Chain A
Amino acid sequence: MRPPSFSGQKVGELLESRYNPRRIRAVALRVVRQLKRDPRTIGLITFAPIFLMVLFGYALSGEMSGIHLGVVDHGGQDGLRSSLQGEKDFDLLYLGSQSDAQKLISDGRLQGAVVMDGGAVRLLLDASSPQVSDRIQAAVIQGLRPREATAGQVDVRYVYGYDLEMMDSVGPAVLGLVVFFFTFITTTISFLRERTQGTLEKFMVSPLSRTEMVSGYLLGFSLFTVIQSATTMLVVVFGFGVPMNGSPLTAFAIILLLGAGALVLGALFSNFASSEFQVVQFIPIVILPQVVLSGVWWPLQSIPSFIRPISYLLPLTYSSDALRMVMLKGATLSQVLVPDLLFLGGFFLVMFAAATAMLRREVG
């Protein structure tokens, strides 16, 4: 038997048979046509994010009066702790280490932090907002007063952060959340429909490969992801005055990569649902953990360390970080490459492979 030859033409043919741009385009065009004809979904895709942002914006604007104070408690200062807990306008965030606290202050997400370490009390304050710093310092001294002797031991350090409103920090992360949520739900339902309306069976008996099918969906949906993230971004930036210090294109790139991950995850999960009712049940399984654990609302560092490994497996953790870096600190694409884009890219590839493998040819 002759060994198989791999001439350029053969490889070209093989590629052509498995990955044909025309077929991908046919799928993409079809997806766009279907969505175009579905005004409710289009409305949902474009206006729901705006609605959500407005809702969050108002809900969070009330919280802006609170002072976000980190507490690193290594024991020994029960009196101070309970006195701080009694301060009504303090939002306490319990953290594991001083370096976590330092990072959050420099990110603008905390206005200060108290480190209690036996007899010693260290106070980290944001140098950019002196009034708040004074307020924190006064409260700490107040808390220590019953034990006058230690009052002198407060070691005050200044960290260079910046004055950040709650919406500034939440906005970029919610941008990712909104895109992830809607892309995941719409694609899960679309893929499920392919199966329930019998078209998947016809696909399977056509030259269209599974890779081409998922790629076609990616192409078709990316158009809507762009529209969706553009509207949401406009609301975030112009409606709520969240800064856009980096390039909007970089932010788009991050969102598109996240959206692509959500799409292939949806394609994968569609295999586990047999009705649209069951798709709704994925929301608490897939979306809720991300809302709670990925640092959208409260910093990752405040999540108890035994669940934090889960946080590091969630794509939203990385998109939130990357979008904050770009929008607030003006980071470039290369600055968010490691670990954020690398993780998002890896997540996409793994889920893509899993989704195409699951769309089996043998349906029965």
Chain B
Amino acid sequence: MAKDDDGGRAFDGRYAVVAEGLQKSFGQLRVLKDLSVSIPRGTTYCLLGPNGSGKTTLIRAIVGLIRLDGGRMQVLGQPVGQVGRLYPRIGYMTQHRALYPDLTLQENMEFFAGLYGVMGQRRADRISDLLEMVELTEHRDRLAGDLSGGMYQRLSLACTLIHEPELLLLDEPTVGIDPLLRQAFWEYFDGLAAGGVTIIITTHLMDEAERCQVVGFMRGGSMLAESSPEALKRLAGLFTTLRLWTGDLEGDRARLESRGYEVRVGAGPALEVVLQSHDQIKAVLDQVQPLDVRLVEPSLDQAFLKLAEVR
């Protein structure tokens, strides 16, 4: 059983979700291993990790769908045992399908609105706004079961948002959604976060993770590291580099090193200059006359691989 008491330093009101030492096994399989997580209110928090690393399990634990074997957790300031009281304030979009295929889009939305007591004019407004947002307005009278995969996913998101929850848990919400609409979704999410909504999201897309304020790397049921995307890359020892192809490899290297830059010779062969910030680009180019230049940004997956190696 998870303990409900607080008193740990992190257990205060700044966090939408804070947990320590979570344990969960399904039979012999340990799915959450001593997992700790802290998600500040009003942030977009991305759970990143390979298949089976326990992302969905963590989300289901947060919303009280599974009974933890150990650890403690608070959600919106409530001990996890009391999370039922918070359901009117939580929106949970499941990874797998969870709508009525034999109801129309409109009827699906009306049903979920009804569950959350969204009625009358407010219901009508919410439904048309959200259908507009997910670009399904002209399909509102079609059966949900007849929608394409991406459209279904969009409807599912709209149903999750119907009651304006302040804590959103979105388990792979953008799977199968085209790039243009994905972009629009993320702008919408940013707007929600700016308005104080906490968004916990899982994805396998690095560009989406990059957009989040905080990323939690999960592996094998525990939290490898959690921080902003930039900080995670630094933590993994990855920096932005400027790759220079020059005629005088050694000479240019010596010149740059004498100015305090960290320089390596990489594939190409080319010089790789580690940048602390993008402001340094011009200064570096003042020192050398390269034949060709490329800015190389480290990716989050590289950071993940590095951190997974180290820990």
- Closest Cβ of chain B to A43, distance in Å, is 16
Chain B residue contacts of A22, Cβ below 8 A: 114, 117, 119
Nearest-neighbour CB distance to chain B for A4, whole angstroms, equals: 15
Cα-based distance from A361 to B57 in the complex (angstroms):
15
A2 at the A/B interface (Cβ < 8 Å)?
Answer: no
Indicate whether A29 sits within 8 Å of B98 (C-beta atoms), given known contacts A205-B63, A364-B65, A364-B66: no
The contact string, 1 if C-beta is below 8 Å from chain A, for chain B 48-72, is 0000000001001001111100000
| A-side contacts of B96, CB under 8 Å | 198
Q: Is the CB of B60 within 8 A of A33?
A: no
Q: How far is the CB of A197 from chain B (nearest CB, A)?
A: 6
Within 8 A of A (CB), among B87-127: 87-88, 90, 92, 94, 96-103, 107, 110-117, 119
Chain B, Cβ-Cβ closest to A38: B102
**How far, in Å, is A84 (CB) from chain B's closest CB?**
58
- Which of B87, B97, B103, B111 is A205 in contact with, Cβ under 8 Å? B87
Q: Verify if B84 is at the interface (C-beta below 8 Å from A).
A: yes
How near does chain A come to B17, taking the closest CB pair, in angstroms?
Answer: 14
Contacting pair A363 B65 (CB below 8 A): yes
Residues of B within 8 A of A197 (CB): 97-101
**Chain B positions within 8 Å of A26 at CB level:** 110-111, 113-115
Say whether A20 faces chain B, with CB atoms less than 8 Å apart.
yes
A205/B100 in contact, CB under 8 A: no
Distance to closest chain B CB from A242 (angstroms): 37
Task: Report chain B residues within 8 Å CB of A207.
Answer: 87-88, 115-117
Return the chain A residue nearest B61 by Cβ: A364
In A12-44, the 8 Å CB interface with B consists of 20, 22-23, 25-27, 29-30, 33-34, 37-38
Chain B's closest residue to A25 (CB) is B114
Q: How far is the CA of A254 from the CA of B66 in the complex (A)?
A: 40
Q: Is A278 an interface residue (CB 8 A)?
A: no
Least distance between A363 CB and chain B CB atoms (Å)? 5
Which residues from chain A contact B57 at a C-beta distance below 8 Å? 364
Chain A neighbourhood of B88, CB < 8 A: 207
Residues of B within 8 A of A (CB): 26, 57, 60, 63-67, 84, 87-88, 90, 92, 94, 96-103, 107, 110-117, 119, 143
A364-B102 contact, Cβ under 8 Å, with A22-B117, A26-B115, A198-B96: no
Q: What distance in Å separates the Cβ of B45 from its nearest Cβ neighbour in chain A?
A: 18
Given A30-B107, A204-B65, verify A199-B114 contact (CB < 8 Å). Answer: no
User: Can you name 20 A-B residue pairings with CB atoms under 8 Å?
Assistant: A22-B119, A23-B114, A26-B114, A29-B114, A30-B100, A30-B107, A34-B100, A197-B99, A198-B96, A201-B65, A202-B112, A205-B87, A206-B112, A207-B87, A207-B117, A208-B115, A363-B65, A363-B66, A364-B60, A364-B65
A148 at the interface (CB under 8 A from B): no
B297 to chain A, nearest CB (A): 38
B-side contacts of A30, CB under 8 Å: 100, 103, 107, 111, 114
Interface residues on A, range: 20 to 34
Minimal beta-carbon separation of B62 from chain A (angstroms): 10
Q: How far is the CA of A203 from the CA of B98 in the complex (A)?
A: 10
Please name all residues of chain A whose beta carbon is closer than 8 Å to the beta carbon of B84 when the two chains form the complex.
361
Residues in A whose Cβ lies below 8 Å from that of B66: 362-364
How distant is B102 from chain A, measured CB to nearest CB, in Å? 5
**CB-CB nearest 10 A-B residue pairs:** A26-B114, A198-B98, A364-B66, A205-B92, A206-B115, A362-B67, A202-B98, A30-B111, A205-B63, A207-B87
CA of A26 to CA of B107, assembled, Å? 10
Residue of A nearest to B60 (CB): A364
Interface hub of A207, A208, A361 (most chain B Cβ within 10 A):
A207
- B residues less than 8 Å from A29 (CB atoms): 111, 114
CB of B302, distance to nearest CB on chain A (Å): 34
Residues of A within 8 Å of B94, CB to CB, are 198, 201-202
Scoring B87, B88, B115 by chain A CB atoms within 10 A of each residue's CB, the highest score goes to B115
Q: How far is the CA of A29 from the CA of B114 in the complex (A)?
A: 10
Cβ contacts under 8 Å, B90 to chain A: 205
CB-CB < 8 A to B116: which residues of A? Answer: 206-207
For B115, what are the chain A residues with a Cβ–Cβ distance below 8 Å?
23, 26-27, 203, 206-208
Closest Cβ of chain B to A187, distance in Å, is: 16
Interface string of A170-206 (1 = CB under 8 A from B): 0000000000000000000000000001110111111
B32 to chain A, nearest CB (A): 12
